[in-house]
Structure 1
Amino acid sequence: MTAWVDRRTPAVERILDAAGALFAEQGVDAVAMGEIAAAAGCSRATLYRYFPDRPALQLAFVQREAVRVGGLVAADLAGAKGDPVTEGVLSALRHVRAAPALAAWFSATDAGRTADLAQGSEVVEALGLTMAPDAEAARWLVRVIVSLLTVPGGTAVQERRLVERFVAPVITLTSP
């Protein structure tokens, strides 16, 4: 698992914001480092000072967004009245789908990279831990969320039913 180091500075935030806008516009795999540098208003040298390569930048983007989405999910769960697993999964799906820079990660061409990043990130796993009792269940829950983002479960009502019937009971069974 890749350890997350919070290196957020104004320059890093500007670079990640620019990358996110380009991901939403072109798709994750189509964006080159030079395009990100230009969009962020910095030189390639500055970009590479913060991120040694494209995978490092992509991981930093995913981890930053996982922290943001995790905060939104936690806030939603604080006021939720239903099952926390169901409500947490559906909240995560809503927040990711509402952000074009994140939704781009779940296109047919980029979903494989996303799944790999999600499974290798302690920050993304921590998002799963807000809904699951242990690390293994959290990793499985993240896989389910990635799957539903890649291949949605139909309408919102149908997706809720899938999560209530197949996901929440499994997580509940794994609780200590």
Structure 2
Amino acid sequence: MAEPRSLGAAERILDAAAGLFAERGVAATQMADIAKAAGCSRATLYRYFDSRQAVQSAFVHREARRIGAAVAAEIGALEDPGARVVAGVAASLRAVRADPLLIAWFRPGDAGIALGIAQTSEVIEAIAVSLFGARARPRDGDPALLARWLTRIIVSLLTVPGRDENEEREMLRRFVAPLFVNAHI
């Protein structure tokens, strides 16, 4: 296990990277930029993260865990599987949109990076399964596949939002919630 000092340094690097992602864009942020913003040498940066993709992935995973915990707390009391998934996706959208460091990932030039990480991330899949699959199994019985699909829906709505939250909730209620009608809780 990493030592607390190492964890603190890695967190400072991720915080510096987050500011650059929001300011310059995810794709435009280079390792040299991150090292400078974090106040460390490139050698130090590479001790913690072996590539720009590793920094991006670590940032996304950290934020996914944070949002996942907040969403879980918000929807924890909901028993109806359809209502649970609608509320969970809506809460996820609100959380990302409210944070300038996160919504930056969904600008036209950067959304592909976010989707790529999300679709290959065991961390994000595990969070989505815990939010939407643990208590409510989809009719097809594959919560991991459903988690990846829901992640695509979330990324899509962040990239190309509905007219407002009410319209998005209605789309989720009509087209996503029915997948959970016969779910087993």
Alpha-carbon separation, structure 2, partners of 1:168 and 1:126? 20
Residue 106 (structure 1) shift = 0.6
What is the TM-score with the length of structure 2 in the denominator? 0.86
Q: 1:55 to 1:6 in 2, by over 3 A?
A: farther
Matches within 5 A, 1:1-176: 9-78=7-76, 83-129=83-129, 130-132=131-133, 133=137, 134-170=143-179, 172-173=180-181, 175-176=183-184
Q: 1:79 to 1:24 in 2, by over 3 A?
A: farther
SS in 1 for 2:90: helix
Alpha-carbon separation, structure 1, partners of 2:175 and 2:164? 16
Deviations 1:100-145 (A, max 9, x none): 1110111110111111110000111122211133111111111111
What is the TM-score with the length of structure 1 in the denominator? 0.90
SS in 1 for 2:132: coil
SS in 2 for 1:108: coil
Q: 1:174 to 1:118 in 2, by over 3 A?
A: farther
The answer as to whether partners of 1:118 and 1:124 remain within 8 angstroms in 2 is yes
Structure 2: gaps (5+ residues): 138-142
Structure 1: gaps (5+ residues): none
Q: 1:174 to 1:25 in 2, by over 3 A?
A: farther
Identity percentage of aligned residues: 53
Structure 1 runs of 4+ aligned residues shifted over 3 Å read 5-8, 79-82, 173-176
Residue 46 (structure 1) shift = 0.5
RMSD: 2.0
How many correspondences in the alignment? 171
Deviations 1:82-111 (A, max 9, x none): 711010000000001111111011111011
The answer as to whether partners of 1:137 and 1:174 remain within 8 angstroms in 2 is no
